[in-house]
Chain A
Amino acid sequence: MTVESTAAARKPRRASKRTSAAKKPQSAEPQLVQLLTPEGERVEHPDYSIDLSADELRGLYRDMVLTRRFDAEATALQRQGELGLWASLLGQEAAQIGSGRALRDDDYVFPTYREHGVAWCRGVDPTNLLGMFRGVNHGGWDPNSNNFHLYTIVIGSQTLHATGYAMGVAKDGADSAVIAYFGDGASSQGDVAESFTFSAVYNAPVVFFCQNNQWAISEPTERQTRVPLYQRAQGYGFPGVRVDGNDVLACLAVTRSALERARRGEGPTLVEAFTYRMGAHTTSDDPTKYRADEERAAWEAKDPILRLRTYLEKAGHADEAFFTALDEESETLGKRVREAVRAMPDPDPMALFEHGYADGSSLVDEERAQFAAYQASFADSAKEGK
């Protein structure tokens, strides 16, 4: 198997030296597949091409802007005490919208807990994502409504579910594909290694989409690997490719190509989207403890939304009216999300006993009855009090 790479790609530059004890493992940064530079220049690539209409380009821009607006609203809602926690995707919009828009309706997505942009592409109502962060459920949307599985919190577990699902797709003789999202931290998990093994030996139609956002909470990618992550695929016998994760066009083109490969029955692909987590790991995290401001600033110059806006403007694909309308749409979305979260009721206490088992359980029945009687005892004493 050959590892796909490119001669035309640019080298990403790190602004600061890491404080990590580990030395930089690779002598030079591997090259990235890139179709849109940080300066908003369209560049060509020998292996990946894309030809989008102005309408489609504006669509990608709109997706990224609205996802970022939703994300910002969720962060604000956490600060206001409406959510217990939020895992921001800030900076990763291109990786998620590019890959998400490469999918067909019949494809299936297995996300981590940060794939708000992919959820957006799948048509999952953003407010559905917030229940678990508010604490009213652990997810709760119907995965089969949008072929978007529930968020998986334990790192890397979902790559095996994606692989099994893809094995089922192949058994059914369907030409759908499956995509598994995970991060640089998860790449160290045994489940990810096992999913590479299983998908390779069964030739499962799955794309492993790794968003290498450089940080697993406080640990830099150097703490997870001595080789560029995309090169891991080679040892399992399938191709790996590193794409500029802040370039929505490249992410779309590379993911589309990997999905098509899966559909043709040629098995898995590992895509490493090289990006950056601009915010904290979650709202509970404090990145000032472990990384330098200069690093973030350098990545800010590679912002995924800004570069597409520059291109849209230069190419004359979008006018001021478009951007103004989108601003308004963003604010409407923010307001809708805010109102929906505030209106989200706490679950009924008896919901504790729902959904533990599909076929029910005598043990749960017994405890439900005990709890109901206990609850009812307060109603009785309240009456007596009056």
Chain B
Amino acid sequence: MAVEKMSIAKALNESLRHALDTDPKVLIMGEDVGKLGGVFRITDGLQKDFGEDRVIDTPLAESGIVGTAIGLALRGYRPIVEIQFDGFVFPAYDQIVTQLAKMHARALGKIKLPVVVRIPYGGGIGAVEHHSESPEALFAHVAGLKVVSPSNASDAYWMMQQAVQSDDPIIFFEPKRRYWDKGEVDTESIPGPLHRAVTAREGSDLTLVAYGPMVKVCLEAAAAAQEEGKSIEVLDLRSMAPIDFDAVQTSAEKTGRVVVVHEAPVFYGSGAEIAARITERCFYHLEAPVLRVGGYHVPYPPARLEDEYLPGLDRVLDAVDRSLAF
């Protein structure tokens, strides 16, 4: 296999397969990840091929999953744990924040915690409560964790490879509503660094900064704006912790206008951090205040209201217009 078109779900599956195949210390753990292949089938067929000792169905206890993964990592394993849905991660939040994030520093660097926590996140799938949230800022805020999210199949494949190879704990947010979006994956290319942002579309009038599921929305917004003669750049952040502020700054200086887009609530969201950094780094390059488009400060709404809650094409374009009007 070299270049192949596949869905994000398939790319993740192939990447996990590769990780299991190349490193006997890699384990997959989670609820229903075995025979079922996970509720989204991301681990489909892996238990069959690698056995129950390496693709482990766990009891339904998220703190237990992450806590035992920490113990396995201390024994020399490299566990990849699946949290079934974003809203189910909180029973494990204590283990992630209190133990996983801090243990390397606690030991003054003498032990490593190579644990990947996979979390399907975000809305747009018409789900019941707790199945559509975007809690990335809650993890990005915690020193000791790294937080990433791919937006396309190629990144899904390669970022997972890099996450598994990382000696730091990585919270890997998977844009669940994009699982079935297809793209080309070159499994023999050499990827860029994991925590580097990439320009998903070049432009000169304004920069849209996004990651995960919102990159697609931003690309569509940029295409729509193009028809009105506006040249929009789209920066795919890929990593929410650390953030590639150099790339953000370069684009902000180039266009002078920035709109940050994410599904998570705007209040205390990553957009706030990005806006602040841009102001600190390149205030005099700005033609307009940095604007943010995201979720509201309300619990994630019922499915019939999520289209109002989630940033869509029109809300992004509205922010583009407001920025350009300055």
| Partner-B contacts on A (CB < 8 A) | 110, 137-144, 149-150, 152, 154, 157, 159-169, 171-172, 190-191, 194-195, 197-198, 201, 354-359, 361-364, 366
Chain A residues whose C-beta falls within 8 Å of the C-beta of B61 in the assembled complex: 194, 197-198
Chain B residues whose C-beta falls within 8 Å of the C-beta of A150 in the assembled complex: 103, 106-107
Chain B residues whose C-beta falls within 8 Å of the C-beta of A154 in the assembled complex: 94, 98-99
Residue of B94, B168, B245 near A157 (CB, 8 A) is B94
Report the bound CA distance from A229 to B91 in whole Å. Answer: 24
Contact A164 B143, CB 8 Å, known A157-B95, A198-B58, A198-B68: no
Residue of B69, B77, B108, B166 near A137 (CB, 8 A) is B108
Report the bound CA distance from A132 to B58 in whole Å. Answer: 35
Say whether A142 contacts B105, CB under 8 Å.
no
Contact A165 B67, CB 8 Å, known A137-B108, A157-B94, A194-B61: no
A278 to chain B, nearest CB (A): 29
Q: Which of B67, B95, B102, B245 has the most CB of A within 10 A?
A: B67
Contact A157 B144, CB 8 Å, known A197-B61, A358-B109: no
Report the bound CA distance from A226 to B91 in whole Å. Answer: 25
Chain A residues whose C-beta falls within 8 Å of the C-beta of B59 in the assembled complex: 194, 197-198, 201
B110 within 8 A of A: yes
Contact A138 B74, CB 8 Å, known A194-B63, A198-B59, A363-B243: no
Say whether A359 contacts B71, CB under 8 Å.
no
Report the bound CA distance from A221 to B242 in whole Å. Answer: 45
Chain A residues whose C-beta falls within 8 Å of the C-beta of B69 in the assembled complex: 164
Report the bound CA distance from A190 to B98 in whole Å. Answer: 15
Residue of A140, A162, A163, A357 near B144 (CB, 8 A) is A357
Give 10 nearest A-B pairs by CB, closest first.
A164-B71, A160-B67, A168-B75, A164-B68, A194-B64, A358-B167, A165-B71, A363-B242, A355-B109, A161-B71
Count chain B residues whose beta carbon lies closer than 8 angstroms to a beta carbon of A.
47
- 30 of the cross-chain contacts (CB-CB < 8 Å) are A138-B106, A141-B110, A143-B107, A143-B111, A144-B111, A154-B94, A157-B98, A157-B99, A159-B67, A160-B70, A162-B71, A163-B68, A163-B71, A164-B68, A164-B74, A164-B75, A165-B72, A168-B72, A168-B75, A168-B77, A171-B77, A194-B59, A194-B67, A198-B61, A355-B105, A355-B109, A358-B166, A359-B166, A363-B242, A366-B245
Report the bound CA distance from A171 to B108 in whole Å. Answer: 28
Residue of B71, B108, B241, B242 near A355 (CB, 8 A) is B108
Contact A363 B241, CB 8 Å, known A171-B77, A354-B109: yes
Other than the known A164-B69, A198-B58, what 7 A-B pairs have Cβ atoms closer than 8 Å?
A139-B106, A154-B94, A161-B71, A190-B91, A354-B109, A359-B167, A364-B242
Report the bound CA distance from A209 to B196 in whole Å. Answer: 46
Report the bound CA distance from A137 to B241 in whole Å. Answer: 25
Which partner residue on chain A sits nearest B114 by CB separation? Answer: A358
Contact A142 B98, CB 8 Å, known A164-B69, A191-B64: no
B246 to chain A, nearest CB (A): 8
B195 within 8 A of A: yes
Report the bound CA distance from A140 to B111 in whole Å. Answer: 10
Chain B residues whose C-beta falls within 8 Å of the C-beta of A172 in the assembled complex: 75
Chain B residues whose C-beta falls within 8 Å of the C-beta of A195 in the assembled complex: 64, 67-68
Say whether A361 contacts B53, CB under 8 Å.
no
A67 to chain B, nearest CB (A): 23
Contact A149 B63, CB 8 Å, known A143-B110, A157-B95, A160-B68: no
Say whether A164 contacts B111, CB under 8 Å.
no
Say whether B107 contacts A362, CB under 8 Å.
no
Chain B residues whose C-beta falls within 8 Å of the C-beta of A152 in the assembled complex: 99
Chain A residues whose C-beta falls within 8 Å of the C-beta of B195 in the assembled complex: 361-362
Say whether A361 contacts B103, CB under 8 Å.
no
Report the bound CA distance from A164 to B245 in whole Å. Answer: 37
Say whether B64 contacts A356, CB under 8 Å.
no
B296 to chain A, nearest CB (A): 28
Say whether A358 contacts B71, CB under 8 Å.
no
A113 to chain B, nearest CB (A): 12
Contact A161 B108, CB 8 Å, known A143-B74, A172-B75: no
Chain B residues whose C-beta falls within 8 Å of the C-beta of A358 in the assembled complex: 104, 109, 112-113, 166-168
Binary interface profile of B, 39-66, with partner A (CB < 8 Å = 1, else 0)? 0000000000000010000110101101
Q: Which of B75, B102, B241 has the most CB of A within 10 A?
A: B75
Say whether A140 contacts B143, CB under 8 Å.
no
B244 within 8 A of A: yes
B302 within 8 A of A: no
Report the bound CA distance from A22 to B242 in whole Å. Answer: 50
Chain A residues whose C-beta falls within 8 Å of the C-beta of B102 in the assembled complex: 138
A2 to chain B, nearest CB (A): 24
Chain A residues whose C-beta falls within 8 Å of the C-beta of B241 in the assembled complex: 363
Contact A354 B77, CB 8 Å, known A157-B67, A190-B63, A191-B63: no
Which partner residue on chain A sits nearest B113 by CB separation? Answer: A358
Chain B residues whose C-beta falls within 8 Å of the C-beta of A201 in the assembled complex: 59
